[in-house]
Amino acid sequence: MNTNEVQALQRYGFKGSQLFPVSSARVQKMSDKQDENLVPRITGLLILEVRKSNPNGDPERESSPRQRPDGKGEISPVSVKRKLRDLVLEKEGVVWSEIKTSLYLPDDRFQILECRGRNRDEIKKKMEPKDGKIGQGFIDAYWDGRPFGNMFLEEGGADTIRAGVAHFGVGVSIAPIDIEFSTWTSKSGVETGKDCGMAPMAFRVVKHGLYAVPFFVNPNQAHKTGCTKQDVDLMLHLLKHTYASTRSVVRSMVEVVHAHTLTHKCRAGSVSDFAFIDALTPEKLEKPSESLRDYGALPTWEKIEDQPIHPDGKVTFGQYGDYHDYAL
């Protein structure tokens, strides 16, 4: 439509959007696209299998696998987030290379704040005003600060938000765990004047275990940390690589069996987080397991999708959220 046509229509009383009519279908499509870019409300549950490995050492017990008073194993939230950070930090690694290509992620926006050897002066500069906002450069640079929040404070700088959008709960094993201790020897000496070495009880591992680690994405803090849906998508796509791509000598056999996620249809929450987690948590055993077969058939979305959220209710999980297993 040229200028003369617009002026002619204005003379006949047409104004604003009437000059450029947009179909209701297109308006709905634009609205849907906008919603797709917002951080969603997500409830998640990782199911981890451990075989002859130490999923998380306890520094107060000489790095033995963490164990609760009731005999069940434990995984701290920070240990899970550390592995996610390390996968993003390793910019030459296969995992980052593949995910950044599929999600179109620029390296400079996905730096890691919580890492060794960080330059505090450089970080302080990023806290200076950018685009009229204090700390915007800091927010734009560090991926882990956006979904996880941070405790980084600088004198005279911005008091950055502490609580993030994504939170991992304490992981607990479904059954009590047996811990195995072994002494390792070395043919070459590690001390001056000795031609061999020995590390008594150095190899401390869980014989077998199945752990449940809950996690949550709460969009309520997104406007403070600058977290985007792209940041959350990266975290979700990293989940299956959390242990498989960060193996070590004492953590050689830990695998994410399931990475259950329910994206709520309402960003304020559509269903009880606990109800979803409980429905997909395997049945507990009284004795330590020897293999995954000891747990029988693990709960799946197919089994609970049409199940009432509450025993006396009619509303089902499938009616209030969209499911995806990021371990597959």
Classify residue 8: in a domain, yes or no. Answer: no
State which residues form the domain around 47: 41-325
- The pLDDT value recorded for residue 12 is 44
CB-based contact 54:204 (threshold 8 Å): yes
pLDDT tens digits for 116-142?
A: 877 877 877 777 766 666 578 888 899
**Considering the domain boundaries, does residue 6 fall inside one?**
no
Instruction: Assess if residue 19 is contained within a domain.
Output: no
Q: Evaluate whether residue 49 is within a structural domain.
A: yes
Give how many domains the chain has, as a whole number: 1
> Which residues lie closer than 8 Å to 186 by C-beta, 6 or more apart?
196, 197, 198, 199
State residue 5's pLDDT score.
52
Question: What does the pLDDT read at residue 325?
Answer: 98
β-pair partners for 180: 205
C-alpha span between 136 and 80 (Å, rounded): 27
Per the domain annotation, does 235 fall within a domain? yes
d(CA 65, CA 171): 12
Q: Is residue 34 part of a domain?
A: no
User: In the 3-class helix/strand/coil scheme, how is 160-225 assigned residue by residue?
Assistant: CCCCCCEEECCEEEEEECCEEEEEEEECCCCCCCCCCEEEEEEEEEEEEEEEEEEEEECHHHHHHH
pLDDT means over runs of 10, the chain (328 residues): 51 49 47 68 98 96 94 97 97 97 96 84 74 75 90 52 88 97 70 60 90 97 90 98 96 98 96 96 97 97 94 89 97
Best CA proximity match to 260, nearest among 323, 173, 322, 319: 323
| pLDDT value of residue 77 | 97
pLDDT at 115: 86
Encoded tokens for 114: 């919580």
Would you state the structure tokens that stand for residue 205, as one six-digit string?
Answer: 């591992």
Q: How many helices (H) and strands (E) does the chain have?
A: 12, 10
Q: What are phi and psi of 215, to 5 degrees?
A: -150, 160
Q: What is the pTM of this model?
A: 0.83
